[in-house]
Structure 1
Amino acid sequence: GNNAGRNWDILSDWAIVIICLLYLPDSVSQSFASTAEKSSEVTLLIWTHPFSRYRRLPDCQALYQVSGCTLTDDWRAYPHADAVIIHHREIATNVSELPPEPRPRLQKWIWMNFESPTHSRGLWRFEGVFNLTMTYRTDSDIFGPKPRLVVWVISNWSESHARVLLYHQLSRYVQVDVFGRAGRPIPGDSGSDSLVRLVSKYQFYLALENSQHTDYITEKLWNAVLAGAVPVVLGPSRDNYERFLPPEAFIHVDDFATVRELAQYLLLLRRSPARLQRHLDWRRSYRVHQPSFWAEHYCTACVAVKNAKGRTDVVTDIANWFQS
């Protein structure tokens, strides 16, 4: 849809800005600087427009006072381009979409990807192919922080809910973008992929449950995890969440005396990529598993029934147990 197109326009344009501003580690910055000294300008070839949507390339000098940076999407520039920016989605399933080999001497190939690993197919195909990485990860060669701060997707809005009160208080201190039936429409179709794609543009996702009960942790949390955002949770206790996720994988509202302190912490993480990375490092050691509704639940029940053969247990006091 048009909204989706505009959002991807923003994402890709922002990604180009990151390149123009050269937000690089020192070693990478120096290598580009030495190249620029030998030539009047550096040419960056955009091999494919992200998600196959044409966008006018910016004038880095006019917009950002960055001199010596020429952007082009004309493949005829390939032989003399200093670097080629290649967006992952267009090459994920077809290596033949890569620029031709052999590549020109000293030319850098830049892997650009702002999707979460869950939505980045075929990564194994590109071992040893690229020279530089440009992603939302702080340990990328070219670090591009997610352009937006906090998002909340909500369908059931009630002023009496604790989560709505939290939203009102938090939005006094930070911008919170609201989507769903109670906010702006989610770009794209109504499927879970569109929601995860939306959340992937944000650093933080409000995973706020409509009621607080033991183990009542819904897809709100997993949407954030799948999208690569840090969930800010309101629900059962921190100890309860830690039964499902590592302690650093989420931010619990109960960790802060006031909503203002929570907002200040989110803004601190925004300014400090190293601190933010602490909430993301767990992904290197764990794999996210998303159950398939309802098939996996049915099959899990089969296993439970097999294990319970011969037993005649009865669940007593189901109301108190479930509501606790």
Structure 2
Amino acid sequence: MLANLRRTIFVKVGVVGIALICLYFLWQKTQPIPSRFEQHTQKWNKRQEHFVLLWTHPWDREKEGIQDGLKVDDCLFTYDRSKLKEANAVVFHYSSLDNEKLPWQHYRDPTQFFVFYSIESPSYIRHAEKRDLKNFDNHFINWTMTYRRDADVYYPYVRYDEHMFNKPTDHTTRLLADKKELALWVVSNCDFSLGSKRRMEFVDTLIKAGLRVHRYGRCFHNSDEYNSWTLKQHRAYKFYLSFENALHCKDYITEKFWYNAIDAGRVPVVWGPSKSDVEQVAPPHSFIHAEDFATPKDLVDYLEYLDKHDDEYMAYFKWVQTPDSETKLRYRSFKDAHEQALCRKLKTDLQPKTYSSITSYIFHNEVKDCLL
């Protein structure tokens, strides 16, 4: 009788155990399965350091591109390919696949992000370098990192600089005292694209209309002279011709605007990007757009007018004296761009995404003028 009791208890315990196991598996099936990107997030967030592998320097020139060993927050940027399997992201400049056998022969973790990187205009890529970018098509790329505001990682030519955006209160007064010349233009790309040829022709037209401009750079065979200038000589100009090498390319606003004009205390005269694109990023009332004038002579006359009326000229620096809150917020957006933006995205925005065609993204979304 005791043996039968033990047998009954054993059977009941077994039945209960099996029932609990079945209930556990039923409960597991009701739980959401983490996506591979959620698993990716969990895996990388356990790390103290994140790796961003830079596949090559731009054009294989060691002095070009992001600095090797750059540390941004907890992200390390490196050209060390032994880190490929550990890398959260792999960044490809548009020249990075020049020496690669395709399709891709190297390791690729399905949770890694392959990032296309370019800060050149579509016109320059197509005409000066004769590239079509087809090697990056067919869902090879997950994210874009360019100067365009619609890029996955915003990488504008300008970097946030306290000196550039927070001038001392007496800056504008001292600025005017140093200015004895009208306009300056420094250019080294004379004819690589139709855009660069067109800007040369436009400046010639402005000169014929009476523009007083000093021209320097490779195109005028006087780069050494310009490079030997003193600070006083640099400060002497009221206007800088911020003329790009392409016309109406989305958001293509380079150092010609930001550093040769805005940061140098000169009013930029803009040709190339659309006025609306410039207005989205520039300090308010800080620039003059060539397309606002019916003729080259009208533009020249306006510059001459500003040269003779200090109050009107200095109004282009009001953003320095009294920047509004929206302007300050815009400046801070530059601080959150570049490598900082990529590092942050790797930790916070890991949604699945690929580009079927980088060729379309770079070339086919532009207006005709941009691609000439």
> How far does residue 165 in structure 1 lie from its aligned partner after superposition?
1.1
Q: Distance in 2 between matches of 1:202 and 1:290?
A: 29
Is the contact between residue 209 and residue 234 of structure 1 (CA under 8 Å) also seen in structure 2? Answer: yes
The one of 306, 312, 320 equivalent to 2:347 is 306
Deviations 1:262-284 (A, max 9, x none): 00100010011111122111112
Identical aligned residues as a percent: 29
Counterparts in 2 of 1:215 and 1:134: CA distance versus 1, 3 Å: closer
Q: Distance in 1 between matches of 2:344 and 2:262?
A: 27
The alignment partner of 2:219 has SS state of coil
- Rg (Cα) greater in structure: 2
The alignment partner of 2:302 has SS state of helix
The one of 154, 175, 179 equivalent to 1:136 is 175
> How far does residue 136 in structure 1 lie from its aligned partner after superposition?
2.8
Letter in 1 for 2:349: A
The alignment partner of 1:152 has SS state of strand
Letter in 2 for 1:304: K
The one of 304, 307, 325 equivalent to 1:267 is 304
Counterparts in 2 of 1:180 and 1:218: CA distance versus 1, 3 Å: same
The alignment partner of 1:135 has SS state of helix
Partner of 1:168: 204
Task: Pick 1 or 2: higher relative contact order, CA cutoff 8 A, min separation 6.
Answer: 2
Aligned: 1:315 with 2:355: yes
Aligned: 1:220 with 2:244: no
Q: Distance in 2 between matches of 1:180 and 1:321?
A: 32
The alignment partner of 2:215 has SS state of strand
Residue pairs, 1:26-175, within 5 angstroms: 118=163, 135-137=174-176, 144=177, 146-158=179-191, 160=194, 161-172=197-208, 173-175=210-212
Aligned length: 188
> How far does residue 181 in structure 1 lie from its aligned partner after superposition?
1.4
Aligned: 1:201 with 2:201: no
Deviations 1:301-320 (A, max 9, x none): 111222222x1111244333
Q: Distance in 2 between matches of 1:282 and 1:122?
A: 10
Deviations 1:58-77 (A, max 9, x none): xxxxxxxxxxxxxxxxxxxx
> How far does residue 188 in structure 1 lie from its aligned partner after superposition?
7.0
How does the TM-score come out when normalised to structure 1?
Answer: 0.50
Partner of 2:217: 180
Counterparts in 2 of 1:151 and 1:321: CA distance versus 1, 3 Å: same
Counterparts in 2 of 1:250 and 1:182: CA distance versus 1, 3 Å: same
The one of 240, 245, 254 equivalent to 1:210 is 245
> How far does residue 251 in structure 1 lie from its aligned partner after superposition?
0.5
Structure 2: gaps of 5 or more residues: 1-161, 367-372
> How far does residue 227 in structure 1 lie from its aligned partner after superposition?
0.6
Structure 1: gaps of 5 or more residues: 1-116, 128-132, 138-143
Letter in 1 for 2:269: V
Is the contact between residue 209 and residue 217 of structure 1 (CA under 8 Å) also seen in structure 2? Answer: yes
